[in-house]
């Protein structure tokens, strides 16, 4: 291996490691700055506690974790889109509004889907718990 290819390999590894740092930094910024992320994290914690308390199955855990991760990712993407739109224009523009509204709508759609799935997974157990 030549010296040049070794340096190139180190640079790639350095960039790869830094990409994790940037991603974690983005998560930290979102959690600190975004009220909705805090709400979703809190609700996710409640759902996880319910999952343990109600002994959901492995398959149900997979679905719950996909929904929790997807919800947090959708909310972060919405926040990123809002910031980019705000960066591009401070003036009102119908396309800027549409971009923000569509991103918010995607989050709402995912949230409603998550609630419906949560009701399917937890509903029968909660009904059973309260009726017996």
Q: Which of 64, 72, 75, 118 is catalytic?
A: 75
Phi and psi for 92 in degrees, rounded to 5? -70, 130
Mean pLDDT over the full length of the chain: 92
Whether 90 is catalytic is no
Q: Looking at the structure, give the CATH architecture of the domain made up of residues 35-131.
A: Orthogonal Bundle (1.10)
Average pLDDT of 51-61? 97
Q: Is the pLDDT of residue 7 over 80?
A: no
| Residue-range domain boundaries for the chain | 1-33, 35-131
Find out whether 22 is annotated in a ligand binding site. yes
Which residue spans within the chain are E strands per DSSP?
none
Nearest to 67 by CA among 22, 125, 109, 127: 109
Find out whether 100 is annotated in a ligand binding site. yes
33 near 82, Cβ under 8 Å?
no
Predicted local confidence at residue 91, as pLDDT: 87
Q: How far apart are CA 24 and CA 16, in angstroms?
A: 13
Give the DSSP letter of residue 91.
Answer: S
Q: Is the pLDDT of residue 97 over 80?
A: yes
Q: What would the pLDDT profile of 9-32 be if each residue is shown by its tens digit?
A: 777 778 888 899 999 999 999 999
Q: Is the dihedral of CA 49, 62, 65, 125 positive or negative?
A: negative
Predicted local confidence at residue 58, as pLDDT: 98
Lowest average pLDDT, out of 40-44, 57-61, 90-94, 110-114, goes to 90-94
């Amino acid at each position: 291996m030549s010296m040049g290819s070794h340096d190139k390999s180190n640079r790639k590894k350095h960039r790869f490691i830094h990409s994790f740092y940037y991603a974690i930094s983005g998560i930290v910024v979102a959690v600190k700055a975004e009220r909705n992320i805090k709400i979703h994290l809190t609700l996710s914690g409640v759902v996880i506690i319910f999952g343990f308390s109600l002994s959901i199955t492995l398959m149900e855990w997979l679905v719950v974790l996909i929904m929790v991760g997807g919800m947090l990712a959708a909310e972060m993407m919405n926040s990123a889109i809002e910031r980019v739109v705000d960066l591009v224009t401070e003036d009102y523009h119908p396309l800027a509004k549409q971009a923000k509204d569509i991103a918010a709508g995607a989050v709402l759609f995912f949230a409603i889907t998550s609630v419906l799935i949560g009701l399917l997974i937890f509903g029968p157990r909660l009904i059973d718990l309260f009726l017996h």
